[in-house]
């Protein structure tokens, strides 16, 4: 029975809880103004979302409240390496990442206190029944929510520092796949469903902002790694033949996924009162994710009490460029672009996250309804390069728990945000 890898794909989905903004498993959708400017934010202090991008920049941000939601519209296709090589399209499902921040402090004072909630990623994918990779994955449904408390202090009018306490507050995983069982014949395949909740975990976010002049700002930030841990996930099996029941007695699983830390550098330049240009570079420490290891309780799974799967991720870079132009005192336009390098090596691509180098373009606007209240809109389009792997690649890498073929992904994400200045 090919069952030792039954659970190997499950924990990878928890990586969506990461604060990473390059490669891996997420699209950065925090702060509509930042999204519209290509995801830049380390060297800027546009609004309350500075708490996420650079807590030091938050010291210079206006006080207020903002909340927004996005609609991520993925399109993923797969062509198998052998047999009928026609395109298989997913039953793509839209998801709705959101974020909200509030900040307090004296208008012209040196300090800020704030709090935020955001969803680094949410995913729901459904592959067609009987597709070639059904023994790796048929369905996933993921939710993740982070909360953050932030404090910032301007040491001088030019220099500020800040820190945030970050918590993985909610992580839900629902993973499903078929399992090959010898002698099952033409009956419905054995189907496994893994569900679990991640334990609450703490991390931190540090930042510094330097403004040598009103026309230039430079920022550095660091977001710590977090180990996502499912301590008692549930295993549900359907269509289990009586002849194999003795080999499938596990009811629970335990897995820890090492999530990356993120180093960011950013610059903001204002050539004029109307124009703002920003550049960000991110280094995401995915190399700490080398394998995914499960232990099973309540019995064995296909004769095994534990399993491991190679991941061998590599650190990933991302470069972001954005601009904002104030058309009038009430109306501003934004545009941006970015390039993210993949964290997944050749021959290690999984159907849950068919990662690849990706390029994106963004746009956005702000309309100030009143002096204190307004609306932000954003749009992001992300195009992943085609990613192929052969059966020989999988065998030579020891990753035969995956499927050979070519993946292609695009994502379109419109978003809207409301804000109130205190």
pLDDT per position as a tens digit, 389-403: 888 988 888 888 788
| Helix (H) or strand (E) segment spanning residue 171 | strand 159-179
Q: What is the value of pTM for the model shown?
A: 0.87
* Confidence bin at 304 (pLDDT 50/70/90): low
Please check the confidence at residue 194 and state whether its pLDDT lies above 90.
no
Burial of 82 per CB tally in 10 Å (0-12, 13-18, 19+): exposed
Residue 56's closest CA among 155, 148, 166?
155
Please check the confidence at residue 21 and state whether its pLDDT lies above 90.
no
Q: What is the mean pLDDT of residues 95-119?
A: 92
Please check the confidence at residue 384 and state whether its pLDDT lies above 90.
yes
> What pLDDT score was predicted for residue 223?
94
Please check the confidence at residue 296 and state whether its pLDDT lies above 90.
no
Please check the confidence at residue 98 and state whether its pLDDT lies above 70.
yes
Rounded-to-integer distance, Cα 48 and Cα 57, Å: 10
* CB proximity list for 377: less than 8 A, separation 6 or greater: 32, 36, 364, 365, 366, 414, 415, 416, 417
> What pLDDT score was predicted for residue 40?
97
The two counts, helices (H) then strands (E), for the chain are: 3, 23
Q: What is the mean pLDDT of residues 57-76?
A: 93
> What pLDDT score was predicted for residue 317?
94
Q: Is the pLDDT higher at 267 or at 175?
A: 267
Mean pLDDT of the chain: 86
Q: Is 398 left (phi over 0), alpha (psi -120 to 50) or beta?
A: left
> What pLDDT score was predicted for residue 18?
38
Q: What is the mean pLDDT of residues 241-256?
A: 79
Q: Is the pLDDT higher at 37 or at 79?
A: 37
Rounded-to-integer distance, Cα 368 and Cα 374, Å: 4
Q: What percent of the chain has pLDDT over 90?
A: 47
How far is the CA of 390 from the CAs of 3, 24, 81, 304, in angstroms?
22, 21, 6, 28
> What pLDDT score was predicted for residue 323?
98
Rounded-to-integer distance, Cα 179 and Cα 233, Å: 18
Q: What is the mean pLDDT of residues 36-62?
A: 96
Please check the confidence at residue 19 and state whether its pLDDT lies above 80.
no
Q: Is 244 left (phi over 0), alpha (psi -120 to 50) or beta?
A: alpha
> What pLDDT score was predicted for residue 3?
38
Full set of structural domains in the chain with CATH: 11-421 (2.40.160.60)
* CB proximity list for 85: less than 8 A, separation 6 or greater: 79
Quote the DSSP letter at residue 188. P
Find the range with the poorest average confidence among 173-177, 212-216, 282-286.
Answer: 173-177
| Exposure string for 163-175, b = 16+ CB within 10 A, e = fewer | bbebbbebbbbbb
Q: Helix, strand, or coil here: 295?
A: strand
Q: What is the mean pLDDT of residues 235-257?
A: 81
């Amino acid at each position: 029975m090919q069952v030792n890898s039954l659970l190997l794909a499950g924990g990878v989905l928890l990586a969506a809880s990461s604060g990473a903004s390059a490669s891996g498993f997420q699209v950065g959708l925090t702060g509509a103004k930042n999204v519209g400017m290509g995801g830049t934010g380390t060297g800027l202090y546009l609004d309350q979302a500075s708490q996420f991008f650079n807590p030091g920049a938050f010291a210079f941000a206006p006080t207020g409240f903002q909340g927004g939601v996005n609609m991520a519209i993925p399109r993923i296709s797969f062509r198998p390496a052998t047999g009928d090589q026609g395109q298989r399209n997913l039953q793509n499902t839209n998801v709705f990442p959101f974020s909200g921040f509030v900040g307090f402090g004296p208008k012209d004072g040196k300090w800020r206190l704030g709090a935020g909630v955001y969803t680094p990623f949410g995913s729901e994918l459904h592959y067609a029944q009987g597709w070639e990779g059904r023994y790796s994955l048929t369905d996933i449904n993921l939710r993740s929510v982070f909360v953050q408390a932030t404090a910032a202090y301007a040491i001088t009018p030019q220099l500020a520092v800040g820190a945030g306490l970050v918590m993985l507050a909610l992580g839900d995983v629902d993973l499903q796949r078929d399992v090959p069982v010898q002698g099952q014949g033409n009956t419905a395949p054995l189907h496994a469903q893994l569900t679990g909740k991640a334990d609450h975990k703490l991390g931190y976010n540090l930042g510094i902002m330097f403004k040598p002049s009103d026309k230039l700002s430079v920022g550095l930030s660091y977001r710590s790694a977090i180990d996502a841990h499912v301590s008692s996930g549930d295993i549900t099996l359907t269509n289990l033949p009586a002849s194999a029941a003795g080999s499938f007695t596990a009811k629970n699983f335990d897995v820890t996924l090492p999530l990356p830390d993120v180093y960011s550098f950013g610059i903001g330049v204002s050539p004029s009162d109307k124009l703002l240009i920003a550049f960000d570079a991110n280094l995401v420490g995915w190399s700490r994710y080398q394998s995914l290891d499960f232990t099973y309780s309540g019995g064995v799974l296909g004769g095994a009490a534990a399993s491991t799967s190679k991941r061998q991720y590599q650190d990933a870079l991302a470069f972001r460029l954005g601009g904002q132009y104030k058309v009038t005192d009430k109306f501003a336009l934004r545009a941006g672009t970015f390039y993210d390098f993949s964290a997944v090596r050749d021959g290690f691509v999984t159907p849950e996250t068919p990662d690849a180098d990706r390029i994106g373009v963004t746009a956005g606007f702000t309309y100030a309804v009143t002096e204190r209240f307004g609306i932000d809109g954003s749009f992001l389009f992300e195009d992943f390069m085609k990613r192929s792997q052969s059966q020989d690649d999988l065998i030579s890498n020891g990753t035969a728990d995956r499927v050979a073929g070519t993946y292609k992904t695009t994502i379109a994400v419109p978003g809207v945000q409301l804000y109130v200045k205190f």
